[in-house]
Amino acid sequence: MSEIHRALAEALNRAITNRKFIDRENGDYLYVSLTQPPIKVVDRHNSDDELDWTVECPNCGRKVDYGHEIFMVSGHIYCSDEKCKKEVYRRAGVVL
């Protein structure tokens, strides 16, 4: 993420979360949602492509592939685990 994109992500996240913004080091965290704190990057796998990275699911803590196992509904982030998905859908008020 470039410095310009990081600055924009921070500004939007700060505005939307009513100044409850959590500042994180760019190298260790990835901004995925405007309404949620950034997610932790566990392993970059020597790649500059964020879709190749392994991240920690902010909902259940599982280590998952960002490009294929992280999803979002109404700004809430969840992983491919079915229990994780159901919990986030319940919190977001989404009916399955």
What tens digit of pLDDT does each residue of 26-40 get? 568 888 887 788 889
The pLDDT of residue 19 is above 60:
no
pLDDT 10s digits, 73-96? 988 899 999 999 999 999 888 887
pLDDT at 17 over 90: no
- b/e 74-89 (16+ beta carbons within 10 angstroms → b): eebbbbeeeebbeebb
Is residue 24's pLDDT more than 70? no
Number of domains in the chain: 1
> Does 22 or 51 have the greater pLDDT score?
51
d(CA 69, CA 14): 26
> Range of 86's domain?
3-92
> What is the reported pLDDT for 72?
92
